[in-house]
Amino acid sequence: MTKIRWITAAALATLLSAAATAPAHASALAAGVADGFATGTTGGVGGATVTVDTTDELLEAIDTVGPLIIQVSGAIAITSKQGVRPNKTIVGLGSTAVISGGGFDFYRSSNVIVRNLTFVDAEDDAVNVGQESHHIWIDHNTFVRPVDGSVDIVRGADFVTVSWNHFAGTDKSMLIGHSDGAASTDVGHLRVSIHHNWFDGSRQRHPRVRFGEPVHVYNNYFDGNELYGVASTMNGGVLVEGNYFAGVAYPCFSTSGYADSAPGRLVQRNNVFTASGTCEAGGTVAEPSAYYSYTLDPPASVPALVQAGAGAGQI
């Protein structure tokens, strides 16, 4: 059984140092426009640009009404989950922008971009997309040691893309749909694209889905995930395609349900499984191509491509 890769302070310093020196992959450099379900998200375009390097400056900026591009310089400590108003771009400068101790919360927010940040030791979720928030793009970030989830997408949220992120030894990486009892708010929502992420020794929820359809999981590198890769439950509809699974005993759960949650639907195609188990699949799922166009990278190329391009410091 794969052991969780706990990230020590020394390992985190190495991670940040590597980000500072690694060249950005060409695809990552070009990815300056939201894609997948977050297509059309523009963030703070049209607003002023501010640079923040203190807690007070950051909290004031994310609470500002109207479009704003917020450049994060250096390490900033926050607590709990701090609300982000609509029409914001929050982007790290260079490769050493760190949000420590807390995270970002979206409550009926929209049109927000979060890029190029390292989230460390969030006392709850690092990024929580909730309460009918929509058009959120979470791109090229690194997640380290959150107490709860790295990214949660819940309570009727919709049109979200999670791309080119590095989940470094995290436990609960990504939850889509918070409760088995949330059908009234979640059915018909929770449409999410998840692509080119490095699930690096992370344990579970890559993602765990309830109700959402389609959730499109493509061209991700699943690397030594201890509990499972993807779980579709509560009649969620998940398409898993073009991914590379290495050392993952349980790549997918679906038709048997997971934990106390009822079964979901999952279609898998064109994936590579190396030293991994069988992806449990069944049922039909709405095609993401009905919503947006996309091009798959060859799954055999995914490990090199994603390790070279995912995470903070790669744009």
Active-site positions read: 205
**Cα 203 to Cα 207, 229, 232, 250, 276, distances in angstroms:** 11, 8, 16, 11, 14
37: DSSP letter: G
C-alpha to C-alpha distance for 276 and 289, rounded to whole angstroms: 28
In 3-state terms, the chain is what percent helix, strand and coil (to 5)? 15, 40, 45
CA dihedral over 168, 140, 296, 287, signed as positive or negative:
positive
What torsion, rounded to 10 degrees, do the Cα atoms 150, 96, 83, 43 define?
-100
DSSP state of 279: B
Q: CA 284 to CA 191: how far, in whole Å?
A: 16
**Which three-class secondary structure state does DSSP give residue 308?**
helix
User: Can you tell me the distance from the alpha carbon of 100 to that of 144, in angstroms, rounded to the nearest whole number?
Assistant: 10
Cα 197 to Cα 64, 149, 154, 200, distances in angstroms: 30, 15, 20, 9
Cβ 144 vs Cβ 168: under 8 Å: yes
Using CA atoms, how far apart are residues 17 and 181, in angstroms rounded to an integer? Answer: 44
DSSP state of 307: H
